[in-house]
Structure 1
Amino acid sequence: MTTENSARLIYVMGPSGAGKDSLLGFARERIGASVMFSHRYITRAVSEGENHIALSNEEFATRLANGLFSLHWDSLGLRYGIGVEIDTWLARGMSVVVNGSRQHAGTAHARYPHARFVHIDASPAVLAARLARRGREDARQIEARLARRPALALPSAAQCITIDNSGLLADAGHQLLEAIGHAAR
């Protein structure tokens, strides 16, 4: 899906609580319009700090049936989609950052073989504290979410970097900017 002008998909992923949305916001504020940041369509109400559009299950199914998602997946009872606008942006030579899923990174790589993958992670203690502060789930749900650590399975040809976001947001944010900058060149 990339063009000869080096437009690239930058696929950001990681466990809940790793700070993906915060890092994406940090990067977006500093990059400006030189890179496109997609939003996700999710069958969940919008929470503070998230860049997504809330859809009902029926709305999601209608969009999926009409081919309006470039990527989509189900996780923990929710449905997630990335709109087809990313294909237009890539075709016009713009690099695009998406907030994806670790379990579906292989599908993204198959569709966008020149994508760069950025895995955001944090220590288990930091993940637990952030999930508790977020307040979306009770203690049992948080424990189940933390126990769910799927293996990151990407083909060997995939370009993937890992950023530890256990410390200061600015430290990990500058690493993400570097990853996006290299991918956008």
Structure 2
Amino acid sequence: MKDGDVKARLVYLVGASGSGKDWLMTYARGSLAGETHIAFAHRYITRAADAGAENHVALTLEEFEARQRAGLFAMHWKSHGYAYGIGIEINQWLAKGLTVVVNGSREYLGVAAQRYQELLPVWIEVPPELLRRRLQARGRESAEEIEARLARLPAGQPPARSGEIIRNDREPEAAGQALVELIRRHSGNMLCA
């Protein structure tokens, strides 16, 4: 397959805090490490490098704002007291025909979809009670903050939305493998049987 034959795709993971996106990204990154047509973007975040499970680039707020002013982010948003960015390097990766996987934001999805025609939203879903237990177990937020996070979830039936859905309510490896298969299926690369 020639470089021009590969269709670039931006796989954009979204889900509530505690849905397991960080773990799923780590699992998929490890499983797909040898595949040269797939790249995982690191987020630039204004939180300590050892905070949370995400493999991210830690920046001070001043560093983040300087990079933002310099136009070094393809995407950026603020959530829960932190600033998040995806570097402009993803534009070069997409231009080369790579499938790029990012840990996105539900609130930023509309903007991202306008900027990237080949964006595929991947919704990581977890039942609210399981999400509550996960948030409590990680111990980063008070009971009130957890309830505020849960209140942001859509009530009743989830709204109709485009993209793919991965339910992360079983053993984590099952959801991780589902994500790996989804990325491969949408990467534009033909798999041999």
| Partners of 1:41 and 1:53 within 8 A in 2 | yes
State the match for 1:99 in structure 2. 103
AA paired with 1:9?
Answer: L
**Closer/same/farther in 2, CA of residues 175 and 106 from structure 1, 3 Å limit:** same
- What's the offset of the Cα at 1:40? 0.5
| Partners of 1:8 and 1:184 within 8 A in 2 | yes
Unaligned segments of structure 1, at least 5 residues: none
The secondary structure found in structure 2 opposite 1:11 is strand
Match of 1:43 among 46, 57, 61: 46
AA paired with 2:23?
Answer: S
AA paired with 2:89?
Answer: E
Unaligned segments of structure 2, at least 5 residues: 189-193
Structure having the higher Rg: 2
State the match for 1:130 in structure 2. 134
The secondary structure found in structure 2 opposite 1:22 is helix
**Closer/same/farther in 2, CA of residues 33 and 63 from structure 1, 3 Å limit:** farther
The secondary structure found in structure 2 opposite 1:102 is coil
The structure whose residues are more often helix, as a share, is 1
The secondary structure found in structure 2 opposite 1:41 is strand
Is residue 2:186 matched to residue 1:183?
yes
2:114, 2:159 → 1: CA distance? 12
Q: Deviations over 1:16-43 (max 9, x none)?
A: 0000011111111111142111110111
State the match for 2:8 in structure 1. 7
State the match for 2:64 in structure 1. 60
Q: Percent identity between the aligned chains?
A: 47
Measured on the aligned residues, the alpha-carbon RMSD in Å equals: 2.0
- Report the count of equivalent residues: 180
**Closer/same/farther in 2, CA of residues 129 and 108 from structure 1, 3 Å limit:** same
Q: TM-score, normalised by structure 2?
A: 0.86
| Partners of 1:72 and 1:79 within 8 A in 2 | yes
1:124, 1:77 → 2: CA distance? 23
State the match for 1:121 in structure 2. 125
- What's the offset of the Cα at 1:48? 4.4
Q: TM-score, normalised by structure 1?
A: 0.90
1:153, 1:169 → 2: CA distance? 25
- What's the offset of the Cα at 1:58? 0.9
